[in-house]
């Protein structure tokens, strides 16, 4: 039986370094916990920031804790267009060469030279989950969603394995709007063609060519 993976929608948010946080909220300030998130040790904070790009802004963007070594802003492709910055798809933490933005808080502002990403869709799982799903860390897979009447297949999904994780797949708001019409959507892994769309397309083209030759 396939492992059913809960699919969670990750709206725009900010992971902040302690140095940037104190510049935005004042020296000696700390993150104020409001609620725990699905991944162990991760939590939502009371603090909010304004994110500004060349063409637009977002007010009251939530901060997630704990502090990170470098500040990172995660948005959707639609958000990037509204801000007027390129939509660069990366895994969390891989921010070299990504666009920047301006962050404004109650005490000051930070001009980020880089750090704005569209998070690559990914699955968090424990080593036991990985054994059950026959995958390993950094595998690329397809995920078939089970949302009623709007099901689809996600390609290029990164598997991230750690004993510190809890099982869930994270998609952004654009991706969620494409399929999710249920309160608790799930998906199952399809491990074919290295999880890449172009490999699936090549196979489909070859299959269709064979069918056409036989007609």
Domain locations in the chain as residue ranges:
10-119, 122-214
- Looking at residue 211, its pLDDT comes to 61
- Looking at residue 146, its pLDDT comes to 76
The Cα–Cα gap between 27 and 151 comes to 48
The per-residue pLDDT of the chain, averaged, comes to 92
pTM for this predicted structure? 0.89
**Taking the domain 122-214, which CATH number applies?**
2.40.40
Residues 74, 93 contacting (CB under 8 angstroms): no
Q: Does residue 134 carry a pLDDT above 80?
A: yes
């Amino acid at each position: 039986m396939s492992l059913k993976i809960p699919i969670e929608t990750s709206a725009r948010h900010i992971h902040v370094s302690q140095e940037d946080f104190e510049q935005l909220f004042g020296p000696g300030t700390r993150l104020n916990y409001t609620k725990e998130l699905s991944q162990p040790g991760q939590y939502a904070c009371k603090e909010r920031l304004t994110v500004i790009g060349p063409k637009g802004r977002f007010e009251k963007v939530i901060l997630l804790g704990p502090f990170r070594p470098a500040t990172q802003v995660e948005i959707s492709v639609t958000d990037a267009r509204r801000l007027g910055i390129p939509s660069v798809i990366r895994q969390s933490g891989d921010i070299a060469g990504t666009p920047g933005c301006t962050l404004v808080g109650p005490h000051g502002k930070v001009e980020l030279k880089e750090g704005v990403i569209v998070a690559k869709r990914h699955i968090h799982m424990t080593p036991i989950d990985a054994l059950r799903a026959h995958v390993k860390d950094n595998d690329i897979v397809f995920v078939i969603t089970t949302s009623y009447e709007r099901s689809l297949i996600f390609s290029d999904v990164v598997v991230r394995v750690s004993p510190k994780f809890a099982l869930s797949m994270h998609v952004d708001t654009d991706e969620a709007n494409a399929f999710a019409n249920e309160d608790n959507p799930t998906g199952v892994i399809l491990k074919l063609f290295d999880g890449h769309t172009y490999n699936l397309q090549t196979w489909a083209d070859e299959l269709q060519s064979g069918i056409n030759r036989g007609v």
